[in-house]
Amino acid sequence: MMEKGAVLLRHGFTFSERMEGAELELEALFHDHLAAVLRGTESRRSFYEFVTDLDTSGRFDGRYEKDVSNELNHRYSNRPRR
């Protein structure tokens, strides 16, 4: 998922393709989080909490173009930007 998402982010011609790539990356990262929960090394967070934490920690900055970052935040964050 991460690899396919990265390819779509870099080479997607449309906003929709770039969003699909970003969502695939987030899903892969969330799966990694859930694996850590099962190992007992992290406490479980909802997908919305997970995305909110990524955004507020600055991990969206530089990883996604501004339009994609703003849309991800709007769709999935507990604290959407205004």
pLDDT 10s digits, 31-45: 999 999 999 999 999
Confidence band (pLDDT; 50, 70, 90) for 14? Answer: very high
Q: Beta partners for 61? A: 64
pLDDT at 28 over 70: yes
pLDDT tens, position by position, 43-74: 999 998 998 888 888 777 778 888 998 899 88
pLDDT at 81 over 70: no
pTM: 0.84
Residue-range domain boundaries for the chain? 2-76
Handedness of CA 71, 68, 61, 22 (dihedral sign): positive
Q: Are 75 and 64 in contact (CB under 8 A)?
A: no
Query: What's the confidence (pLDDT) of residue 80?
Result: 61
